[in-house]
Structure 1
Amino acid sequence: MSGVTSRWVVTGACWALAGLLIGWSLWTGTITFLIAIACGGLLFASFWGRPRFALVVWLLSLVMVPIWISIHLFATVPFHCIIAVMAIVATISRTRPKITTFDVYFLISWIISVAAVFFGGSSAGLSAAILLRWGIHYFAARVLVSATGVRFVVDVIAILFGVVGVLATLELLLAWHPYAQWSFGSISEFEIWRTVLTREGRDRSTWAFGHSIALGGSLALAIPFILRSSYSAFVRGVLLVSVLAGIVSTASRSAELAAVLTIVICALYVVKIRILRTGILAVGTVAMLVVSLAVGDRLQAWARGNSAEEQSSYEYRREMYANYLPTVKWLGKSPIYNPTKISIDSAFLDMGLGFGWVLLIIAVIPLALSVFRVITGSASFAEIAIVGQIPLFATVALINQYASIVFIVAGIAVQIIVDRQNQPVGDPLDANSFPPTHAMAP
């Protein structure tokens, strides 16, 4: 089959698939169904041979479309997952990223989750979500970033999340919640995530993320990308202020702590001599632990908060580990695990309760390696973004778009490692120090 013929066969198949999926979700009659087929086909055709455009549309679908805009197959499939699949198919025929140990490691993790379903009573829906909501976006990042280059995606993420930060701030100032009435899609998820959260009598921004912590965590992930972007110092400063204002508008203490931790690590990476940077990071880590012990009461008071809602949330999280951790099995679902009835405010604990110690340990190993690389001064900015999220991983489950964006950043981190192996001289963008070098010639 010739290249042109295969292109049109794949294009036609994906037109039909995309149209059927989108038409199913928006079904109100024959005309709407036909229009959906045409729109899905045109969107896919526009992706073909244009990986940069596909990447931008995919990221826009993540940050501008709520999680409940979706279809239900064997599991609920959000709209941004459909866009991700279309982008992968349209790009991978021309750009096939090198398969790495990290990619295999993720697939093994998912296979273990499937084993937990068959042998430990874990939820098949949650196992499917690992592949659909995490895996698709991880592999989309691997494929699209391989095609567009790390430099391009860094600049796109910096701009997009700067805009989201501004919109989140306006949402707070104007008490404007544009997605609260978007009821089409998954009604069950709409009812869960449409609620406008409040703290101390004021609304908390959620934008399209369904929860203020998901928004705050996603914005904090973007900080190293902003600092590493190729824009001028003034533009980077404006974007950083926009993101920080958006984080404040969520009133999420975990997101605020993650932002501070991320900025501190980035600031230490300004030191360009690696051995000196490693020494500062090691001493700083020890000093932080000592200070934490010395002012533990004050930190506890801040974490506990002032309002009854904050204090209740703090006490629940403090007791959660003591009550639930002993029930984690080696493989499979804990007897007390029922996410529809109890809220597990910890990504670590949620994974352990849902699938067992085996999958939890497998998930923690890459994070521990990233922490080691940060301390030794060899981490990329994407790894710094992930490590900065540890306060959130300990206090909130991987929910909504936040989970997808975490795995996108993980995919970018892997791509940076691949690029370094392929370019021994190194790309200035991928250097470990901050701020970026502006000799950005390809």
Structure 2
Amino acid sequence: MGVLLFVGLACSGVLLLFVMRASPRLAFVVWCATLFFIPVWIGVSLGPFWSAITLMTGAAVVAFGRNLTLLPVDGVVTLLVFMMLAQYGLKLASLATVVTAMSEWILPYILGRLVLGRLEQPTFVDIVAVFVVVAAVLGLVEFGTHTNLFTRITGPGSVSLYETWGTLQERGGNLRVEGAFGHSIAFGATLAMGSAFILACRWKPWIKLIGLLLVTGAVAASLSRLALLTLALTVGLSLVLMPGLGRRLRVGILVLGGLGGVALLPYVTGILLAAGEEASGSADYRLDLMSLLKVVRPLGSAEDFVGLTTGGSYLGVFARSIDNAALVAALRVGWVGAILLLIVVGFAALRLLQRGGANPASIAVAAQIPSLFTVAFITQFAVAFWFLVGVAVSWPLLTPATRGSRRAKNE
């Protein structure tokens, strides 16, 4: 029975690959649906655990795989891949560390580099915008009903699969909305990145404003200070740098932002004040993380620090959660690997300063830079971020004029 099930799943997977390769638009829609609405605790165990979004990203890479114009930054990524494989071969890093890095960082980056080769930019932007707004609406429903439907997905024996992942968070007695992302910060930060696509899509200005309002409400419902900050940065950078935004839309965003600030500030501030020591302790915790710098190696994973005490601080308290993506990268692959990752992010963000480089992906990546030092690469946020890094790198290479010349040459 198990063999028949495996064969059936394998045949279904092959059929899905053919369909996705034949229809790039459908392939991207399926990938986005997986990203936004299938939690990372849903997947299969084949040796390591493979989440649904990892499997779908691999399938999408195959579906979108075509010729690719390589850039120096791709050499940096390739160097990072070889370095991680070498670390595993030399037993400087575990297989789990390498698999996690490849599936959450490298694979989504490759997909981001490929997707615009077969999908028109306007279509790509519109699809992302739709999914961001739908995710925001579901987040607001979760906030209003105090019910997260994704946590009710059950496994064998009616056991909640979410219970093996974590528990719903609260701040000041209020539920922190997290959607299918398993964490409120991951949910809020991903929606913040998506706000750039709402502003860049082909909708009418008043529809964009409604979409942005919904996203702002959902991000506020996550009760994440970081998500609110990066949302403000994303919208601000879009207003200043994104081409094609009409005057009416810019004025509407400024008015909406002012009214939204007046309406939301007392609410969010009140919750943070009610949270009291919990909110301030969260900030202090991030500063205390710096004590882990002493165990980071130039190459390879840091030694087990659960039993270590440095300068009177017991480092084992950080074993469960390290809310600093740059530091987590350094702990996993060493200082050199972390620096290579930041170089790739910097290249994508600096696209803003190049002619034709200001686009929703580069704006989203640039606005998320503060988050790299205050939250780890967790759940679908990691996949979304590195995917958009790849898109930001590719965007200036695929202008309408360039695509038109390629099409004419092919014909």
- Aligned-pair CA distance for 1:229: 0.9
Note if 1:402 corresponds to 2:381. Answer: yes
Alignment partner, residue 429 of structure 1: none
Change (3 A) 1:139 1:271: closer
What does residue 358 of structure 1 align with?
A: 336
Shift of 1:349: 0.8
Establish whether residue 58 from structure 1 lines up as the match of residue 31 from structure 2. yes
Superposition pairs of residues 41-440 of structure 1, within 5 angstroms: 41-92=14-65, 95-119=66-90, 121-184=92-155, 190-269=162-241, 306-307=274-275, 308-321=277-290, 323-337=291-305, 341-374=319-352, 379-420=358-399, 423=402
How far 1:151 moved relative to its partner? Answer: 1.8
RMSD: 3.1
Amino acid in the other structure paired with 1:412: V
2:251 alignment counterpart: none
- Give the CA deviation at 1:71: 1.4
Contact map agreement 2:77 2:344 (CA 8 A) in 1: no
Q: 1:120 to 1:264 in 2, by over 3 A?
A: farther
**SS state at 1:71 partner:** strand
Q: Work out the number of aligned pairs and report it.
A: 367
| 1:406 Cα deviation from its structure 2 partner | 0.5
Distance 2:201 2:195 in 1: 10
Which residue identity lines up with residue 333 of structure 2 in the other structure? F
Paired residues for 1:33-44 under 5 Å = 36-37=9-10, 39-44=12-17
Letter of the structure 2 residue corresponding to residue 350 of structure 1: V
Quote the sequence identity (%): 26
For 1:359 and 1:143, the matched residues in 2 are separated by 23
State the TM-score, normalizing by the size of structure 2.
0.80
Deviations, residues 332-360 of structure 1 (Å, cap 9, x unaligned): 22235569933111001111122211011
The code of the aligned residue for 2:338 comes to: L
Task: Determine helix, strand or coil for the equivalent of 1:350.
Answer: helix
CA distance in 2 between partners of 1:221 and 1:193 (Å): 24
Q: Give 4+ residue runs of structure 1 displaced > 6 Å after superposition.
A: 301-304
* Residues 253, 303 of structure 1: 8 Å contact kept: no
Residue 97 of structure 1 contacts residue 143 of structure 1 at CA under 8 Å; is this kept in 2? yes
Q: Distance in 1 between matches of 2:45 and 2:323?
A: 26
TM-score (norm 1): 0.75
- Once the 2 structures are TM-superposed, how far is the Cα of residue 366 of structure 1 from its aligned partner? 2.9
- 1-structure distance, mates of 2:386, 2:303: 28
Cα gap change, 1:114 to 1:191, in 2 (>3 Å):
farther
Q: Please state how far the C-alpha of 1:243 moved relative to its aligned partner.
A: 1.3
Structure-2 change in CA distance of 1:213 and 1:192 (3 Å): farther
Q: Which moved more, 1:305-314 or 1:346-355?
A: 305-314
1:239 Cα deviation after fit: 1.4
Q: In structure 2, what is the Cα distance between the partners aligned to 1:109 and 1:422?
A: 33
Contact 1:62 / 1:401 at 8 angstroms: preserved in 2?
A: yes
CA contact (8 A) 1:65 1:80 kept: yes
Tell me the SS of whatever aligns to 2:22: coil
Matched residue of 1:148: which SS?
coil
CA contact (8 A) 2:192 2:219 kept: yes
Structure 1, residues 296-329: CA drift from partner, whole Å, max 9, x if none? xxxxx999865222122111112211x1123221
Q: Which amino acid aligns with 2:377?
A: L
Kept after mapping to 1: 8 A contact 2:136/2:215: yes
Q: Provide, for residues 354-384 of structure 1, a one-character-per-residue CA deviation record: whole Å limited to 9, x for no partner.
A: 2211011111123334555546785433111
Gaps of 5+ in 1: 1-27, 273-300, 427-442
Q: Distance in 1 between matches of 2:97 and 2:353?
A: 33
Structure 2 equivalent of residue 296 of structure 1? none
Distance in 2 (alpha carbons) for counterparts of 1:306 and 1:106? 44
CA distance in 2, matches of 1:39, 1:424: 33
CA distance in 2, matches of 1:108, 1:38: 35
**Farther-moved stretch of structure 1 (206-215 vs 334-343):** 334-343
Q: Is the 8 A contact 2:64 2:117 kept in 1?
A: no
- Partner Cα distance (2:129, 2:161) in 1: 29
For 2:178 and 2:403, the matched residues in 1 are separated by: 42
Structure 1 residue 214, shift from structure 2 partner: 0.7
Q: Is the 1:337–1:354 Cα contact (8 Å) retained in structure 2?
A: no
Structure 2 CA distance for partners of 1:374 and 1:47, relative to 1, 3 Å: closer
Q: Which protein has greater RCO, CA pairs closer than 8 Å, 6+ apart?
A: 2
CA positional deviation for 1:123: 2.7
Amino acid at match of 1:102: V
Q: Distance in 2 between matches of 1:100 and 1:231?
A: 33
